[in-house]
Each structure stands twice: as C-alpha cells, then as structure tokens.
Amino acid sequence: MNYLSPEKLIESLEWRYATKAFDPSKKIDKKTWKALEHALVLTPSSYGLQPWKFFVVENQEVKEKLKAVSWNQSQVTDCSHHVVFAIKEKLDEAHITHFIEQTAKVRDMDAAALEGYKKMMIGDLVTGPRSKVVSEWAARQTYIALGNFMTSAALVGVDTCPLEGIDPVKYDEILGLTGTGWKVVVACPAGYRSAEDKYAGSKKVRFDSSELIVHV
C-alpha cells in the first residue's frame, strides 16, 4: 500500500477550510463521490454499531427547501452534494442483533460466539443507564463520521462546510424522517469552492500546539 506522506497530509488539511461559497457549475465526479460515500461507511464507531444514516441530497428542489431552514446559507443549494447526518433516536435490541448478524456473516463465524458481546451492548445502551442518553451518544458518534468525511474530502481535493446552522426538526420533515425513529443532527455540503470565496485564502487561526498538546 502506498501511504500518504506526512507532508501531503498536512498540505491537504491546510488547504481545507469551511467553504462559504461553492461553484454551482462544478460537480463531483461519480468515481470521487463513490469513494467519499465509502469513506462514510468506513467511519469507526463505538462498539462498531454505526447508529447513523447519511442522506445525500442532489435534487435541487429539495436543496432549496433545506436552504430555507438552514438560515438561507447558499452552500446548501450551490454545492454538488449536500450530506445530511441522521441518528437513531433510540438504540434497540433489533439494531444490535442486526449488527451481530452482519459481523458473523462478514467474518464467517457463528453468531452464537458473539452472544456475550451482544448482551454487553444491550446491557449498556438498551437497558443500562446510558440508554437514557443514547441519543446524545449516537450524536457524538455521528460527529466522528462528519470529521472523517471532511478529512477524506480534503485528501481528494473536495471542499466541504460543516453546518450546525440548520433546523433539524424541519430537516426531518422535508426528508420524511418525522416519526420514523431517525432524526437529523448535522449537515455538510460538499463540492468545489468558488473563485469568489474570499475566505479561501484566509490563514487558519489555531492556538499554538504547545497550548493544545500535552506529552506525558
């Protein structure tokens, strides 16, 4: 495997910024987008449970509706693909069973051998104390997916902008999620920056590493 050099990694992350203006005439090609979708699927999660769905919005009419409940931010309509991150409102035993069955299938093993693991997850997230805050737990998992998506996009030269400035309840309504057990947490348009975006050349403002990193 040819690994990315440390220099290229930093170059890509320096290049990335929260894109304020996308060029609506530039679309992400199918091969690149397929890789980015796969990057989303490969995102790690606690227990490996993947308590999320990713809605990829390309339909312009739907984008217009979502823009109206996203503080009218133009990124929503001008981007190539608008990714909406949703979570399961409550984690149930059926989801965990499905994960166990998938694990057994992929790894060619007997699901019965994973029974202890299954009971541990149920005891933690379904019947245990964390079941009361499992929606918050799932939301935190989803931000791992968001970060993974933005980093992956930067590595292939695709711009992104994380959006918390949205009305999740209205998003649920527009995407048909109301009453389904799923709810929107955050969104992230992706595409290519406009030449008119003045923020593209702005220097990143970060605290010095000595303030943020502690070696023990």
Please name the residue ranges forming H helices in the chain. Answer: 6-15, 30-41, 60-68, 75-78, 93-106, 115-121, 134-155, 168-174, 209-212
Q: Residue 131 maps to which CATH number?
A: 3.40.109.10
143 assigned to some structural domain: yes
140 assigned to some structural domain: yes
Mean pLDDT calculated for residue range 192-201: 97
The answer to whether 168 and 27 have CB atoms below 8 angstroms apart is: no
34 assigned to some structural domain: yes
Q: How many whole angstroms separate alpha carbon 81 and alpha carbon 89?
A: 25
93 assigned to some structural domain: yes
The predicted pLDDT at position 96 comes to: 98
Token look-up 């949205």 returns: 166
49 assigned to some structural domain: yes
Q: Which residue from 147, 149, 155, 148 is spatially nearest to 15, judged by alpha carbons?
A: 155
Token look-up 């093993």 returns: 109
The predicted pLDDT at position 125 comes to: 97
The predicted pLDDT at position 87 comes to: 98
The predicted pLDDT at position 102 comes to: 98
The predicted pLDDT at position 71 comes to: 98
pLDDT digits (tens, 9 = 90+) for 41-75: 999 999 999 999 999 999 999 999 999 999 999 99
β partners of residue 190: 81, 160
Overall size of the chain counted in residues: 216
22 assigned to some structural domain: yes
Q: Helix 134-155 vs helix 30-41: angle between axes, to the nearest 10 degrees?
A: 150
The predicted pLDDT at position 67 comes to: 98
| Number of domain units in the chain | 1
Task: Give the structural domain span for 15.
Answer: 6-212
The answer to whether 76 and 189 have CB atoms below 8 angstroms apart is: yes
1 assigned to some structural domain: no
In sequence order, what DSSP letters do the residues of 38-64 get, joined into one string?
HHHHT---GGG---EEEEEE--HHHHH
- pLDDT band of 37, cuts 50, 70, 90: very high
Provide the mean pLDDT of the chain.
98
The predicted pLDDT at position 4 comes to: 95
β partners of residue 55: 84
pLDDT digits (tens, 9 = 90+) for 89-140: 999 999 999 999 999 999 999 999 999 999 999 999 999 999 999 999 999 9
43 assigned to some structural domain: yes
Q: How many CB atoms sit inside 10 A of residue 199's CB?
A: 12
Q: How many whole angstroms separate alpha carbon 143 and alpha carbon 126?
A: 21
The predicted pLDDT at position 56 comes to: 99
